Structure 1
Amino acid sequence: MKDKKRLAVFDLDHTLLPLDSDFSWGQFTTRLGWTDPHEFIRRNDVFYEQYKAGTLNIHEYIRFATEAVRRQGPARALAARDQYMEEVIAPAILPQALDLLQRHRSAGEELLIITATNEFVTAPIAERLGVQHLIAVGLERDSQGPEGWITGEIRGVPSFREGKVTRFNDWLTERGLAREAVEVTFYSDSINDLPLMDNADHPVATNPDDRLRNVARTRGWPILELF
Protein backbone atom coordinates (compact mmCIF):
# COMPACT_ATOMS: atom_id res chain seq x y z
CA MET A 1 0.00 0.00 0.00
CA LYS A 2 1.35 3.41 -0.98
CA ASP A 3 2.36 5.62 1.93
CA LYS A 4 0.08 8.56 2.60
CA LYS A 5 1.28 12.08 1.89
CA ARG A 6 1.80 13.84 5.21
CA LEU A 7 0.57 17.38 5.74
CA ALA A 8 1.21 19.69 8.68
CA VAL A 9 -1.56 22.27 8.79
CA PHE A 10 -1.52 25.30 11.06
CA ASP A 11 -3.91 27.98 12.14
CA LEU A 12 -2.07 31.31 12.34
CA ASP A 13 -3.27 33.73 15.02
CA HIS A 14 -2.47 32.62 18.59
CA THR A 15 -1.19 29.35 17.11
CA LEU A 16 1.98 30.22 15.19
CA LEU A 17 1.85 33.86 16.27
CA PRO A 18 1.31 35.05 19.86
CA LEU A 19 -1.09 37.70 18.58
CA ASP A 20 -4.11 38.21 16.36
CA SER A 21 -2.82 39.55 13.04
CA ASP A 22 -6.24 40.95 12.10
CA PHE A 23 -6.53 42.91 15.35
CA SER A 24 -2.90 44.02 15.41
CA TRP A 25 -3.22 45.27 11.82
CA GLY A 26 -6.28 47.26 12.88
CA GLN A 27 -4.34 48.71 15.81
CA PHE A 28 -1.46 49.57 13.49
CA THR A 29 -3.67 51.42 11.00
CA THR A 30 -5.28 53.27 13.89
CA ARG A 31 -1.83 54.44 14.98
CA LEU A 32 -1.34 55.70 11.44
CA GLY A 33 -4.49 57.79 11.88
CA TRP A 34 -6.53 55.78 9.39
CA THR A 35 -9.32 54.97 11.87
CA ASP A 36 -10.81 56.54 14.97
CA PRO A 37 -9.28 54.66 17.93
CA HIS A 38 -12.39 54.64 20.11
CA GLU A 39 -14.71 53.59 17.29
CA PHE A 40 -12.29 50.91 16.11
CA ILE A 41 -12.02 49.38 19.60
CA ARG A 42 -15.78 49.54 20.14
CA ARG A 43 -16.62 47.82 16.86
CA ASN A 44 -13.81 45.29 17.12
CA ASP A 45 -14.84 44.32 20.66
CA VAL A 46 -18.35 43.55 19.40
CA PHE A 47 -16.99 41.33 16.63
CA TYR A 48 -14.56 39.61 19.01
CA GLU A 49 -17.34 38.72 21.45
CA GLN A 50 -19.32 37.29 18.53
CA TYR A 51 -16.24 35.32 17.44
CA LYS A 52 -15.81 33.80 20.91
CA ALA A 53 -19.53 32.97 21.04
CA GLY A 54 -19.44 31.35 17.60
CA THR A 55 -21.92 33.84 16.15
CA LEU A 56 -19.61 36.02 14.05
CA ASN A 57 -20.90 37.12 10.65
CA ILE A 58 -17.64 36.82 8.72
CA HIS A 59 -18.90 38.96 5.83
CA GLU A 60 -19.69 41.88 8.10
CA TYR A 61 -16.36 41.47 9.85
CA ILE A 62 -14.36 41.49 6.61
CA ARG A 63 -16.05 44.72 5.52
CA PHE A 64 -14.98 46.23 8.85
CA ALA A 65 -11.45 44.77 8.76
CA THR A 66 -10.72 46.04 5.22
CA GLU A 67 -12.40 49.43 5.57
CA ALA A 68 -9.22 51.39 6.24
CA VAL A 69 -7.16 49.92 3.40
CA ARG A 70 -10.03 50.36 0.95
CA ARG A 71 -10.10 54.08 1.71
CA GLN A 72 -6.32 54.48 1.46
CA GLY A 73 -5.86 52.69 -1.85
CA PRO A 74 -3.19 50.20 -2.99
CA ALA A 75 0.01 52.27 -2.83
CA ARG A 76 -0.43 53.56 0.72
CA ALA A 77 -1.91 50.29 1.98
CA LEU A 78 0.92 48.15 0.63
CA ALA A 79 3.57 50.51 2.00
CA ALA A 80 1.87 50.41 5.41
CA ARG A 81 1.72 46.62 5.29
CA ASP A 82 5.49 46.47 4.72
CA GLN A 83 5.97 48.70 7.76
CA TYR A 84 3.56 46.55 9.80
CA MET A 85 5.51 43.42 8.87
CA GLU A 86 8.74 44.89 10.20
CA GLU A 87 7.40 46.63 13.30
CA VAL A 88 4.71 44.20 14.48
CA ILE A 89 5.01 40.79 12.86
CA ALA A 90 8.77 40.27 12.68
CA PRO A 91 9.20 40.62 16.49
CA ALA A 92 6.25 38.23 17.01
CA ILE A 93 7.80 35.39 14.98
CA LEU A 94 9.31 33.41 17.83
CA PRO A 95 11.94 30.64 17.72
CA GLN A 96 9.59 27.99 19.08
CA ALA A 97 7.16 28.54 16.18
CA LEU A 98 9.96 28.37 13.63
CA ASP A 99 11.28 25.23 15.31
CA LEU A 100 7.86 23.57 15.12
CA LEU A 101 7.58 24.34 11.42
CA GLN A 102 11.11 23.06 10.82
CA ARG A 103 10.46 19.79 12.63
CA HIS A 104 7.61 19.01 10.26
CA ARG A 105 9.56 20.26 7.25
CA SER A 106 12.53 18.06 8.19
CA ALA A 107 10.18 15.09 8.53
CA GLY A 108 9.25 15.51 4.87
CA GLU A 109 5.79 16.91 5.52
CA GLU A 110 4.21 19.61 3.37
CA LEU A 111 3.26 22.74 5.31
CA LEU A 112 0.01 24.70 5.00
CA ILE A 113 -1.40 27.65 6.94
CA ILE A 114 -5.18 27.99 7.01
CA THR A 115 -6.60 31.10 8.63
CA ALA A 116 -9.79 33.12 8.97
CA THR A 117 -7.76 36.31 8.59
CA ASN A 118 -7.85 37.83 5.11
CA GLU A 119 -5.22 37.25 2.45
CA PHE A 120 -4.07 40.89 2.32
CA VAL A 121 -2.80 40.67 5.90
CA THR A 122 -1.61 37.06 5.94
CA ALA A 123 0.13 36.47 2.59
CA PRO A 124 3.38 38.19 3.63
CA ILE A 125 3.23 36.53 7.07
CA ALA A 126 3.12 33.05 5.54
CA GLU A 127 6.03 34.01 3.30
CA ARG A 128 8.04 35.30 6.28
CA LEU A 129 7.37 32.03 8.11
CA GLY A 130 8.64 30.09 5.11
CA VAL A 131 5.30 28.37 4.48
CA GLN A 132 4.56 28.11 0.78
CA HIS A 133 0.89 27.21 0.98
CA LEU A 134 -1.74 29.53 2.46
CA ILE A 135 -5.52 29.33 2.65
CA ALA A 136 -6.94 32.65 3.87
CA VAL A 137 -10.16 34.58 3.40
CA GLY A 138 -10.15 35.64 -0.25
CA LEU A 139 -11.00 39.25 -1.09
CA GLU A 140 -13.03 40.39 -4.07
CA ARG A 141 -11.49 43.11 -6.22
CA ASP A 142 -13.28 45.69 -8.32
CA SER A 143 -11.50 44.58 -11.49
CA GLN A 144 -9.05 41.94 -12.65
CA GLY A 145 -5.34 42.55 -12.85
CA PRO A 146 -2.98 44.80 -10.90
CA GLU A 147 -5.29 47.81 -11.02
CA GLY A 148 -8.09 46.05 -9.16
CA TRP A 149 -8.60 46.94 -5.52
CA ILE A 150 -10.35 45.39 -2.55
CA THR A 151 -14.12 45.88 -2.39
CA GLY A 152 -14.75 44.59 1.14
CA GLU A 153 -16.57 41.48 -0.07
CA ILE A 154 -15.33 37.90 0.26
CA ARG A 155 -14.25 35.88 -2.77
CA GLY A 156 -15.47 32.31 -2.61
CA VAL A 157 -15.97 30.32 0.58
CA PRO A 158 -14.50 32.04 3.65
CA SER A 159 -11.94 29.92 5.50
CA PHE A 160 -13.83 30.17 8.78
CA ARG A 161 -15.32 27.42 10.95
CA GLU A 162 -16.82 24.75 8.62
CA GLY A 163 -15.51 26.79 5.68
CA LYS A 164 -11.98 25.76 6.62
CA VAL A 165 -12.91 22.14 5.94
CA THR A 166 -14.44 23.08 2.59
CA ARG A 167 -11.44 25.17 1.55
CA PHE A 168 -9.01 22.49 2.71
CA ASN A 169 -10.82 19.78 0.75
CA ASP A 170 -10.90 22.05 -2.31
CA TRP A 171 -7.16 22.63 -1.91
CA LEU A 172 -6.58 18.87 -1.89
CA THR A 173 -8.77 18.39 -4.95
CA GLU A 174 -6.87 21.07 -6.86
CA ARG A 175 -3.72 19.01 -6.26
CA GLY A 176 -5.31 15.73 -7.28
CA LEU A 177 -5.32 14.40 -3.73
CA ALA A 178 -8.13 12.49 -2.06
CA ARG A 179 -8.65 13.12 1.66
CA GLU A 180 -8.01 9.47 2.43
CA ALA A 181 -4.65 9.71 0.62
CA VAL A 182 -3.22 12.23 3.08
CA GLU A 183 -2.34 12.12 6.78
CA VAL A 184 -3.11 15.47 8.40
CA THR A 185 -1.75 17.00 11.59
CA PHE A 186 -3.60 20.20 12.47
CA TYR A 187 -2.60 22.77 15.08
CA SER A 188 -5.08 25.36 16.37
CA ASP A 189 -5.88 27.45 19.42
CA SER A 190 -9.58 28.07 18.78
CA ILE A 191 -12.86 26.29 19.34
CA ASN A 192 -13.93 27.82 16.02
CA ASP A 193 -11.55 25.36 14.36
CA LEU A 194 -13.22 22.30 15.86
CA PRO A 195 -14.68 21.24 12.46
CA LEU A 196 -11.21 20.98 10.91
CA MET A 197 -9.74 19.43 14.06
CA ASP A 198 -12.41 16.73 13.87
CA ASN A 199 -11.39 16.20 10.23
CA ALA A 200 -7.66 15.88 11.03
CA ASP A 201 -5.88 12.61 11.74
CA HIS A 202 -3.78 14.25 14.47
CA PRO A 203 -5.40 17.33 16.03
CA VAL A 204 -3.18 19.31 18.39
CA ALA A 205 -4.74 21.95 20.63
CA THR A 206 -2.11 24.69 20.60
CA ASN A 207 -2.23 27.51 23.17
CA PRO A 208 -5.92 26.57 23.34
CA ASP A 209 -8.78 28.72 24.48
CA ASP A 210 -10.75 27.37 27.44
CA ARG A 211 -13.44 25.67 25.36
CA LEU A 212 -10.96 23.92 23.07
CA ARG A 213 -8.81 22.92 26.05
CA ASN A 214 -11.82 21.18 27.60
CA VAL A 215 -12.59 19.37 24.34
CA ALA A 216 -8.97 18.29 23.97
CA ARG A 217 -8.86 16.93 27.50
CA THR A 218 -12.12 15.04 27.00
CA ARG A 219 -10.98 13.52 23.71
CA GLY A 220 -7.39 12.87 24.72
CA TRP A 221 -5.88 15.21 22.16
CA PRO A 222 -2.37 16.56 22.74
CA ILE A 223 -2.20 20.07 24.18
CA LEU A 224 0.81 22.14 23.11
CA GLU A 225 1.72 25.30 25.00
CA LEU A 226 3.89 26.81 22.31
CA PHE A 227 4.02 30.26 23.92
Structure 2
Amino acid sequence: MNEIGISIQDKTYRDGHGGAQRSTIADLNFKVEPNEFVCLLGPSGCGKTTLLNMVAGLDRHYQGQIRIGGQAAAAKIGYVFQSPRLLPWRTVRQNIELVFDGPPPAALIDELLAGMQLDAVQHSYPERLSLGMQRRVAIIRAFAVNPDILLMDEPFVSLDAPSARQVRTLLYALWQQRPHTVLFVSHDLREAIALADRLIFLSPPPMRIVSDITVDIPRDGRHDEAQIEAFREYLLKQHPAINGLL
Protein backbone atom coordinates (compact mmCIF):
# COMPACT_ATOMS: atom_id res chain seq x y z
CA MET A 1 0.00 0.00 0.00
CA ASN A 2 1.28 3.46 -0.87
CA GLU A 3 0.50 5.39 2.31
CA ILE A 4 2.96 7.87 3.79
CA GLY A 5 3.69 8.05 7.51
CA ILE A 6 5.63 11.12 8.65
CA SER A 7 7.03 11.45 12.16
CA ILE A 8 9.73 14.12 12.44
CA GLN A 9 10.99 15.04 15.89
CA ASP A 10 13.49 17.63 14.67
CA LYS A 11 15.04 19.01 11.50
CA THR A 12 17.70 21.69 11.91
CA TYR A 13 19.92 23.69 9.60
CA ARG A 14 22.92 25.92 10.19
CA ASP A 15 22.30 29.62 9.62
CA GLY A 16 25.17 30.64 7.32
CA HIS A 17 28.81 29.57 7.55
CA GLY A 18 29.42 28.57 11.14
CA GLY A 19 26.20 30.20 12.30
CA ALA A 20 23.77 28.97 14.90
CA GLN A 21 21.64 25.91 14.27
CA ARG A 22 17.96 26.64 13.79
CA SER A 23 15.07 24.22 13.97
CA THR A 24 12.89 24.25 10.85
CA ILE A 25 10.63 21.27 11.68
CA ALA A 26 9.67 20.03 15.15
CA ASP A 27 7.22 17.36 16.31
CA LEU A 28 5.54 16.96 12.92
CA ASN A 29 3.31 13.89 12.70
CA PHE A 30 0.72 12.99 10.10
CA LYS A 31 -0.28 10.25 7.69
CA VAL A 32 -1.36 10.30 4.05
CA GLU A 33 -3.68 7.43 3.14
CA PRO A 34 -3.29 5.38 -0.06
CA ASN A 35 -4.40 7.37 -3.13
CA GLU A 36 -5.20 10.39 -0.96
CA PHE A 37 -4.42 13.88 -2.31
CA VAL A 38 -3.06 16.04 0.52
CA CYS A 39 -2.07 19.67 0.11
CA LEU A 40 0.45 21.41 2.36
CA LEU A 41 -0.05 25.14 2.87
CA GLY A 42 2.03 27.57 4.88
CA PRO A 43 4.12 30.73 4.66
CA SER A 44 7.20 30.96 2.47
CA GLY A 45 10.26 29.57 4.21
CA CYS A 46 8.35 27.38 6.66
CA GLY A 47 9.98 24.20 5.29
CA LYS A 48 7.43 22.74 2.86
CA THR A 49 10.01 22.05 0.12
CA THR A 50 12.41 20.71 2.74
CA LEU A 51 9.73 18.27 3.86
CA LEU A 52 9.12 17.05 0.30
CA ASN A 53 12.87 16.54 -0.15
CA MET A 54 12.93 14.50 3.05
CA VAL A 55 10.05 12.32 1.84
CA ALA A 56 11.85 11.88 -1.49
CA GLY A 57 15.03 10.76 0.29
CA LEU A 58 17.02 13.75 -0.98
CA ASP A 59 17.54 15.03 2.58
CA ARG A 60 18.23 12.47 5.30
CA HIS A 61 19.57 14.81 7.96
CA TYR A 62 16.73 14.80 10.47
CA GLN A 63 15.55 13.06 13.59
CA GLY A 64 12.50 10.91 13.03
CA GLN A 65 11.13 8.53 10.48
CA ILE A 66 9.31 8.65 7.17
CA ARG A 67 7.61 5.41 6.15
CA ILE A 68 6.16 4.69 2.73
CA GLY A 69 3.93 1.68 2.33
CA GLY A 70 4.44 0.88 6.01
CA GLN A 71 8.20 0.49 5.65
CA ALA A 72 11.14 2.84 6.13
CA ALA A 73 12.61 1.82 2.79
CA ALA A 74 13.21 3.26 -0.64
CA ALA A 75 10.10 3.78 -2.73
CA LYS A 76 9.48 4.80 -6.30
CA ILE A 77 8.98 8.57 -6.18
CA GLY A 78 7.52 10.89 -8.80
CA TYR A 79 8.60 14.47 -8.13
CA VAL A 80 7.33 17.60 -9.90
CA PHE A 81 9.61 20.49 -8.93
CA GLN A 82 8.85 24.20 -8.96
CA SER A 83 10.72 24.51 -12.27
CA PRO A 84 9.97 21.99 -15.08
CA ARG A 85 13.67 20.91 -15.34
CA LEU A 86 13.44 19.80 -18.96
CA LEU A 87 16.60 19.14 -20.98
CA PRO A 88 16.61 21.81 -23.71
CA TRP A 89 18.40 19.62 -26.27
CA ARG A 90 15.76 16.89 -26.10
CA THR A 91 12.20 16.94 -27.42
CA VAL A 92 9.09 16.68 -25.27
CA ARG A 93 8.84 12.96 -25.90
CA GLN A 94 12.55 12.39 -25.32
CA ASN A 95 12.36 14.23 -21.98
CA ILE A 96 9.62 11.84 -20.90
CA GLU A 97 11.46 8.75 -22.18
CA LEU A 98 14.49 9.61 -20.01
CA VAL A 99 12.79 8.38 -16.83
CA PHE A 100 12.66 4.75 -18.01
CA ASP A 101 15.53 2.34 -17.42
CA GLY A 102 14.52 0.09 -20.30
CA PRO A 103 12.65 0.61 -23.56
CA PRO A 104 10.08 3.40 -23.03
CA PRO A 105 6.44 2.22 -23.25
CA ALA A 106 5.23 4.00 -26.37
CA ALA A 107 1.52 3.35 -25.78
CA LEU A 108 1.64 4.74 -22.24
CA ILE A 109 3.51 7.86 -23.33
CA ASP A 110 1.02 8.38 -26.17
CA GLU A 111 -1.86 8.12 -23.69
CA LEU A 112 -0.31 10.58 -21.24
CA LEU A 113 0.57 13.07 -23.98
CA ALA A 114 -3.00 12.95 -25.25
CA GLY A 115 -4.40 13.33 -21.73
CA MET A 116 -2.31 16.46 -21.19
CA GLN A 117 -3.11 17.75 -24.70
CA LEU A 118 0.54 17.67 -25.76
CA ASP A 119 0.51 15.04 -28.51
CA ALA A 120 0.75 17.74 -31.19
CA VAL A 121 4.01 19.12 -29.73
CA GLN A 122 5.68 15.88 -28.67
CA HIS A 123 8.55 16.38 -31.12
CA SER A 124 9.11 20.03 -30.20
CA TYR A 125 11.93 21.29 -27.99
CA PRO A 126 11.16 22.95 -24.63
CA GLU A 127 12.09 26.43 -25.88
CA ARG A 128 9.17 26.20 -28.29
CA LEU A 129 6.69 25.59 -25.49
CA SER A 130 4.89 27.95 -23.15
CA LEU A 131 5.67 27.61 -19.45
CA GLY A 132 2.29 25.96 -18.95
CA MET A 133 3.13 23.33 -21.56
CA GLN A 134 6.53 22.72 -19.99
CA ARG A 135 4.86 22.15 -16.63
CA ARG A 136 2.50 19.62 -18.25
CA VAL A 137 5.52 17.73 -19.60
CA ALA A 138 6.99 17.63 -16.08
CA ILE A 139 3.72 16.23 -14.72
CA ILE A 140 3.63 13.51 -17.40
CA ARG A 141 7.23 12.58 -16.59
CA ALA A 142 6.32 12.12 -12.92
CA PHE A 143 3.21 10.03 -13.64
CA ALA A 144 4.88 7.93 -16.35
CA VAL A 145 6.93 5.78 -13.97
CA ASN A 146 3.79 4.80 -12.00
CA PRO A 147 5.34 5.99 -8.71
CA ASP A 148 4.41 4.75 -5.26
CA ILE A 149 3.83 8.37 -4.29
CA LEU A 150 3.77 11.66 -6.18
CA LEU A 151 5.35 14.82 -4.75
CA MET A 152 4.42 18.17 -6.29
CA ASP A 153 6.12 21.40 -5.23
CA GLU A 154 4.03 24.35 -6.42
CA PRO A 155 3.81 22.96 -9.96
CA PHE A 156 1.71 25.90 -11.23
CA VAL A 157 3.78 28.74 -9.77
CA SER A 158 4.38 31.71 -12.15
CA LEU A 159 1.47 30.75 -14.40
CA ASP A 160 -1.27 33.27 -15.09
CA ALA A 161 -4.69 32.36 -13.70
CA PRO A 162 -6.19 30.91 -16.94
CA SER A 163 -3.09 28.80 -17.65
CA ALA A 164 -2.94 27.55 -14.05
CA ARG A 165 -6.63 26.63 -14.19
CA GLN A 166 -6.12 24.69 -17.44
CA VAL A 167 -3.12 22.73 -16.14
CA ARG A 168 -4.90 22.09 -12.84
CA THR A 169 -7.93 20.71 -14.68
CA LEU A 170 -5.75 18.42 -16.77
CA LEU A 171 -3.83 17.24 -13.69
CA TYR A 172 -7.07 16.51 -11.88
CA ALA A 173 -8.37 14.46 -14.83
CA LEU A 174 -5.10 12.53 -15.05
CA TRP A 175 -5.10 11.84 -11.29
CA GLN A 176 -8.67 10.53 -11.46
CA GLN A 177 -7.70 8.17 -14.29
CA ARG A 178 -4.47 7.08 -12.53
CA PRO A 179 -4.92 7.58 -8.75
CA HIS A 180 -1.75 8.10 -6.77
CA THR A 181 -0.92 9.12 -3.24
CA VAL A 182 -0.08 12.81 -3.64
CA LEU A 183 1.67 15.30 -1.37
CA PHE A 184 1.20 18.71 -2.98
CA VAL A 185 2.63 22.09 -1.91
CA SER A 186 0.73 25.29 -2.72
CA HIS A 187 0.27 28.89 -1.62
CA ASP A 188 -3.09 29.14 -3.37
CA LEU A 189 -6.01 28.13 -1.15
CA ARG A 190 -8.51 28.01 -4.02
CA GLU A 191 -6.16 25.74 -5.96
CA ALA A 192 -5.74 23.48 -2.93
CA ILE A 193 -9.49 23.23 -2.37
CA ALA A 194 -10.05 22.36 -6.04
CA LEU A 195 -7.58 19.47 -5.92
CA ALA A 196 -7.10 18.04 -2.45
CA ASP A 197 -8.89 15.64 -0.13
CA ARG A 198 -7.20 17.27 2.88
CA LEU A 199 -5.52 20.58 3.62
CA ILE A 200 -2.69 20.66 6.15
CA PHE A 201 -1.80 24.18 7.30
CA LEU A 202 1.74 24.56 8.63
CA SER A 203 3.26 27.16 10.94
CA PRO A 204 6.41 29.25 10.43
CA PRO A 205 9.59 27.52 11.66
CA PRO A 206 9.79 25.38 13.59
CA MET A 207 7.10 23.83 11.39
CA ARG A 208 4.10 22.34 13.13
CA ILE A 209 0.56 21.50 12.03
CA VAL A 210 -1.86 24.34 12.74
CA SER A 211 -4.95 22.76 11.14
CA ASP A 212 -5.71 19.51 9.31
CA ILE A 213 -8.97 19.96 7.40
CA THR A 214 -10.95 17.65 5.13
CA VAL A 215 -12.26 19.31 1.96
CA ASP A 216 -16.01 18.78 2.20
CA ILE A 217 -16.87 19.25 -1.47
CA PRO A 218 -17.88 16.30 -3.66
CA ARG A 219 -15.37 15.51 -6.37
CA ASP A 220 -17.90 16.37 -9.09
CA GLY A 221 -18.18 19.87 -7.64
CA ARG A 222 -14.49 20.73 -7.75
CA HIS A 223 -14.86 22.67 -11.02
CA ASP A 224 -17.57 24.89 -9.54
CA GLU A 225 -15.85 28.18 -8.66
CA ALA A 226 -18.79 29.22 -6.48
CA GLN A 227 -18.49 26.09 -4.30
CA ILE A 228 -14.74 26.55 -4.02
CA GLU A 229 -15.08 30.19 -3.00
CA ALA A 230 -17.83 29.39 -0.49
CA PHE A 231 -15.66 26.71 1.13
CA ARG A 232 -12.67 29.09 1.19
CA GLU A 233 -14.71 31.75 2.99
CA TYR A 234 -15.99 29.13 5.42
CA LEU A 235 -12.44 28.00 6.24
CA LEU A 236 -11.16 31.52 6.83
CA LYS A 237 -14.10 32.25 9.13
CA GLN A 238 -14.13 28.96 11.07
CA HIS A 239 -10.34 28.62 11.31
CA PRO A 240 -9.00 32.16 11.81
CA ALA A 241 -5.51 30.84 12.64
CA ILE A 242 -4.91 29.97 8.99
CA ASN A 243 -5.36 33.54 7.77
CA GLY A 244 -1.76 34.43 8.55
CA LEU A 245 -0.36 31.29 6.91
CA LEU A 246 -1.31 32.00 3.28
In the superposition, the TM-score normalised over structure 2's length comes to 0.27
Higher RCO, Cα 8 Å, sep 6+: 2
Q: Which structure shows the higher strand fraction?
A: 2
In the superposition, the TM-score normalised over structure 1's length comes to 0.28
